[in-house]
Structure 1
Amino acid sequence: MTTRLDVLVIGAGQAGLATAYHLQGHGLRFQVLEAGQRPVGAWPQHYASLKLFSPARHASLPGWPFSGDPERYPTRNEVVAYLEAYAAHFQFPIVTGAEVAQVLPDGEEFRVLSADGRIFCARAVVAATGTFRRPFMPEVPGRETFGGQVLHSLAYQEPSPFVGQRVLVVGAGNSAVQIAVELTEVARVTLANRTRVQFTPQRPLGRDVHDWITWARVDQLTLGHLRRLPSPRHVFDPGVYRAAFRRGKLDERRMFTRFTAGGVVWPDGQEERVDAVIFATGYRANLDFLRGTGALDRQGEPVQRLGVSRTVSGLYFVGLSGQRALASATLRGAGQDAAVVVRHLVR
């Protein structure tokens, strides 16, 4: 039997749960479809030592704050526990093990097909799968000939497999630096990137940088504002990352030009043997189930504005990087983006 709903939300990570909160507040009939067995998104897949780059009081979803010290920086496992507790507290109608294979616009409603053959119908769909299940690695010449290990940061868990190795970490963001510094305890590490790392103190004048961002309302800058601003990648440094460079435990170089069978070639032509390369190079939208609907451009990115599809009526997005504001795709931004989308949906 097919159940017809007001809204189907695809994905039960932070974006999907924030959307569920606002849908529930409007009394809409909805379900959340989650491919995994727990409403925690991709968080369990991230490296074990991961800590949020914002304190707990800036990392809560709407209606349910993180417990404990609000000034602490929650770990990966704390975020997982928080998301599960959040879903349980509000008793959202979540269907786990429901991997969405295809979304089909059908007149004034959508038919959503799961990989196991189930069919769900609703008048609106919110794609809240975000990006963190679709890692991006740039094409580098010679990669297919390289005899060492190549992986994305999503597959990195902890440093013990790299003891005594020569390791390159590619990237200039928070995760790249955090992983590189962690690896210096067991390996010889270089951070390779196209843009030098820009460090920002984590706690200027004794307050977390997110306090200042909130006070200055930088979080409220919309996508239009963001397009007019320079976009350097800033790494929030609690005092240990730049110190690793100063102590000589870690160095930074321009991105290598190609792989060889045994290593890489640097821009000056020098070839070096390397055991492993870890790409901390971000993610792309995880929206293959929308192919064929006209909702995506040629690169597979959604054609949308502020989370509202510009090509498919009744289709919405939450959890995209830069979707609406600077904080989009983060825990602290998911609730605000979801609120905007649900208000539009209700109208």
Structure 2
Amino acid sequence: MENIFDSIVIGAGQAGLATAYYLQKNGLNYVVLEASEQTAGSWPNYYDSLTLFSPARYSSLPGYQFPGGPTRYPTKEEVISYLVEYANHFNFNISTGEKVIEVQRKDGIFQISTSKKNVFYTKTVVSATGDFARKFIPDIDGMDVFKGVKIHSSEYKNVENYKGQRIIVVGGGNSAVQIAFELAQVSNVSIATRRPLSFTPQRLLGKDVHFWLRITGVDYLPLEFKASVLDLGIYKQAIINNKPNRKSMFTSFTEQGVIWEDGEEEKVDTVIFATGYRPNILYLKSLNGALSTLDSPLQRKGVSQTINGLYYVGFSWQRSFSSATIRGVGPDAKYVVKHIKRLARIPTSYSHK
């Protein structure tokens, strides 16, 4: 009989690594399956100038402090380096290049099939592929006829290929504003949103906002807030100066550009959709009842409400305000592993050929 793991974690990004930490700490037999060849999650796919929205002091995974000055905002490359170093430091049992294709369940045991045609067996499964891998682009009239460049923000890296263009960035979150601000230094850029932009000061009374979230306990509460851009004063002022400017969302595309809400037609070179992502969990569709009709996880605090032994780490608002962040996945992983320990103690007589 082949090895039946106590738990298999799908995804070796920040959520999967935090889960591996607690599985290993509790002496459970586990493996982490990662589709790519590195343990950095979605971070390598983001734009070059991205920095963490939280200072290094509040950006660590469990058991291993983020290196460097505690008040600085780590760069994308520093985060990637930290995640790789974290996995190596604890020598987690990770198998890379194993993209999970399907998860099935029979007689209380999960069967996981990967792109390498390998099959793994486990008592429990942790879906840790999170909210930031399957890009979402809204369907807008005329998209198919537009002859300009149309990309998701995950495909944008830097300003190099966009100098001197007329560009629209769609979206009102941190990434949309940061990308638009960066491009506005070399191009004519508008941010298109359905609602006015909202800004939150990055620092209050000399302290980063994450300090206040932590000491007030808000970071740990199951609260949801409308998107608001964290700002040191740079972005709001840039919008006031119309560099970039903000416009109400256009209604449709044309061959050469877009039609704005007031009926004006404008020629546009590039449209960048900073419109977020959807959960990357389609490999769970064979588990009848695991997902909603919108392919979202049916879970409460990371525990599946419909499939015994199925868990989640790394999803927005899973247990708290910070659940999907590098600072929030640790507490969620700890909570989930407590549940896994109970099931792992149950002996199994399941066998397979």
Q: Distance in 1 between matches of 2:286 and 2:113?
A: 14
Residue of structure 2 in register with 1:116 after alignment: 116
1:288-327 Cα deviation digits (max 9, x unpaired): 1111212111111111111111111100011111111110
Q: Which residue of structure 1 aligns with residue 24 of structure 2?
A: 24
CA deviations 1:314-345 (Å, max 9, x no partner) are 00011111111110111011101111111122
Superposed CA deviations along residues 218-269 of structure 1, whole A, max 9, x for unmatched, are 11112xx54xxxx321111022111212333211011111111111111111
CA distance in 1, matches of 2:263, 2:212: 44
Aligned mates of 1:311, 1:31 — CA distance in 2: 24
Contact 1:53 1:73 in 2 (8 A): yes
Q: TM-score, normalised by structure 2?
A: 0.95
Q: Secondary structure at the match of 2:168?
A: strand
Q: Which residue of 2 aligns with 1:342?
A: 337
TM-score by length of 1: 0.96
Please list, as runs of the form range in 1=range in 2, the aligned pairs for 1:1-40 lying within 5 A after superposition: 2-40=2-40
Matching residue within 251, 259, 266 for 1:265: 259
2-structure distance, mates of 1:22, 1:314:
16
Aligned counterpart, 1:250: 244
SS of the counterpart of 1:116?
A: coil
Residues 111-136 of structure 1 show CA distances to partners (whole Å, capped at 9, x for unaligned) of 10011110111100001011221011
- Where structure 1 has 5 or more consecutive residues not aligned to the other structure, the ranges are none
The whole-number CA distance in structure 2 between the counterparts of 1:250 and 1:133 is: 27
Superposed CA offset, 1:55-112 (max 9, x none): 0111110000111101000000000000000000000000001010100111121110
Aligned residue identity for 2:262: D
Q: Secondary structure at the match of 2:327?
A: helix
1:175 and 2:175 correspond? yes
Deviation of the 1:35 alpha carbon: 0.5
CA displacement, residues 171-228 of structure 1 (integer Å, 9 cap, x when unaligned): 1110000000000111100000112211111111110000011111111112xx54xx
Q: Does 1:322 align with 2:317?
A: yes
1:269-304 per-residue CA deviation (whole Å, 9 max, x = no partner) reads 111111111011111000111112121111111111
Residue 232 (structure 2) aligns with: 238
1:147 aligns with: 147
Q: Does the CA-based 8 Å contact 2:7-2:30 persist in structure 1?
A: yes
The percentage of counterpart residues that share the same residue type is 50
Q: 1:2 to 1:100 in 2, by over 3 A?
A: farther
Amino acid at match of 1:332: R
**In the alignment, which residue of structure 2 is the partner of 1:283?**
277
Q: Which residue of 2 aligns with 1:305?
A: 300
Give the residue type in structure 1 aligned to 2:235: Y
Q: How many residues align?
A: 341
- Report if aligned partners of 1:160, 1:186 keep a CA contact under 8 Å in 2: no
- The answer (yes or no) to whether the contact 1:2–1:119 under 8 Å persists in 2 is no
Answer yes or no: is the 8 Å Cα contact 1:109–1:123 preserved in 2. yes
Structure 2: unaligned runs, 5 residues or longer: 343-353
Q: Which residue is equivalent to 1:86?
A: 86
Report the Cα distance in structure 1 between the residues aligned to 2:257 and 2:331, rounded to whole angstroms: 45
Q: Which amino acid aligns with 1:325?
A: S
Distance 2:243 2:298 in 1: 44
Corresponding letter in the other structure for 2:304: S
Indicate conservation of the 8 Å contact 2:102/2:286, yes or no. no
Q: What CA distance in whole angstroms lies between the structure 1 residues aligned with 2:3 and 2:180?
A: 49
Quote the Cα distance in structure 1 between the aligned partners of 2:97 and 2:89: 20
The 1-side partners of 2:99 and 2:149 are apart by 30
After TM superposition, list the pairs within 5 Å mapping 1:88-107 onto structure 2: 88-107=88-107
Distance 1:119 1:14 in 2: 24
Q: Structure 2 CA distance, aligned partners of 1:24 and 1:195?
A: 45
- State how 1:204-219 maps to structure 2 within 5 Å: 204-219=204-219
2:121 partner SS: strand
- The amino acid of 2:266's aligned partner reads E
Q: Is this contact kept in 1: 2:7–2:340, CA < 8 A?
A: no
Tell me the distance in 2 between the aligned counterparts of 1:2 and 1:330. Answer: 36
Distance (Å, rounded) in 2 between the aligned partners of 1:195 and 1:316 = 35
Match of 2:69 in 1: 69
Structure 2: how far apart are the matches of 1:75 and 1:232? 25
Secondary structure of the corresponding residue to residue 252 of structure 1: strand
Q: Which amino acid aligns with 1:334?
A: V
Q: Match of 2:133, SS? A: coil
CA distance in 2, matches of 1:319, 1:293: 20
